[in-house]
Amino acid sequence: MTQIEEAGTDENSPMEGSVAKPARITIKELNQLIADVQEYPLQNDDKWFVVSYTWWSKVLETVKQGYVEDIPSIDNGSISDKSSDGYFLRANLAESIDFHLLPEPVFSRLRDVYGVEIEERDFIPRFVIEKAGKLVVEVYPRLVMVSFAADSSRFCVLRLQGSDTMVDLRDRALRELGLIDTPIDRMKFYISHGDKYELIDTSQQNLDNYFDTAQKVNFYIQSNKYRSQHLHLVHYQLLRCLLMLRMRTENGLSIMINQSYLVEVRRIRCMWFTESWKYLFHGISFAGDILVFFNFFIIIL
C-alpha cells in the first residue's frame, strides 16, 4: 500500500496530497510486466484493474525511451467523474481507446512503484465473470436497486450474476422485499431506455437482452395496499393523456404532458409517473461506477 505523505522542506519530497513512490523498478522488470498483461489468463473471480489509456500510453512510450523514472503516478482522471457520492467510471468507455485492463499482480507492482494520484478515484478493481459461456472482465458491474414504490425506504441492491435469468432477478427482488407470495399475474415489469418505456417479458432467459449496457437498474413495486386509490388516479390520468394525444399521433412522437406524465406513442403504450416517482427514478445515485441509468419497476394490478 502506498502512503500519502505531507510535503517536507526537502526539494525532492513529494507535494502535499500526492502519493509517494517508495519503490524502484528496472527497465527489464517493467518490460516483463507489460508482457504479462498480454499473456495473463482470465480466471473466474480474479481481480483486474482499470487504468486510463492516457496513463498507460505514457508507460509504453516512456519504456521505449528507457526512462522508467519518468512515468507519472497512476491517474484515472480522464475516465472518471465525480458526484456527491464519490468517483465513478464514465459512460461508454472503450477498451484500448479510453482504458486498459491490468491483472492484479501487474497493477499492484506498478502502484507500489509509481503510486496513484487520488486513491478513491484511481483504484478501480473489477472481477472476471462468465458471460455467454466466456470469461470476461466486468468493467461495468450491473446493479439493480429494488425499491417499494409506496415506501422508498424499503429497498435492497442486487448485483446481477452472469447466470441470472429474468425469473431469477424477479424472485430475488421479491424475496428481498418480502413479496415472494404476491401472485405474478398481478405484476407488470417495465424497463425504461431514457424516456422510453418497454414492457419486459419475464420469461426471457437472458438478462442481456435488457441489461447488457446497464450498470444500475431501478426496480419499483407498487403496493397492493394502495391499489384502489392509485389505480383510480392512473386511469384518469391515462385517459386525459390519450385524449390530448389523438391530435398528435400522426408523427408518432413521444411527448411530455405538463412534466408529470410520460407518453410513448410509437409503442402504442402509455406509461406514467408522478413528480415524486421521477425523483425516485433520477434522484438516487450510488457511489461506484454507473454506465447507463435504466429504470426497472413493477406495478401490481
pLDDT at 226: 38
pLDDT-derived band at 212 (thresholds 50, 70, 90) equals: low
Grid cell digits, residue 44? 473466474
Best-predicted range by mean pLDDT (78-87, 104-113, 245-254): 104-113
Determine the Cα angle at 139 with ends 136 and 143, to 5°.
105
190 within 8 A of 297, measured Cβ to Cβ: yes
Best-predicted range by mean pLDDT (111-125, 202-216, 251-265): 111-125
Residue 172 scores a pLDDT above 60: yes
More confident residue, 166 or 214: 166
CA dihedral 202, 280, 227, 166 (to 10 degrees): 10
Give the CATH architecture of domain 27-138.
2-Layer Sandwich (3.30)
CATH of 143-224, one of 3.40.50.2000, 3.90.1200.10, 3.30.70.260, 3.10.20.90: 3.10.20.90
Domain extent listing, the chain: 27-138, 143-224
pLDDT digit string (tens) for 76-90? 999 998 877 788 888
SS3 4: strand
Residue 280 scores a pLDDT above 70: no
Q: Which is it for strands 293-300 and 187-193: parallel, antiparallel or unpaired?
A: antiparallel
Span 183-189, mean pLDDT?
71
Residue 28 scores a pLDDT above 80: yes
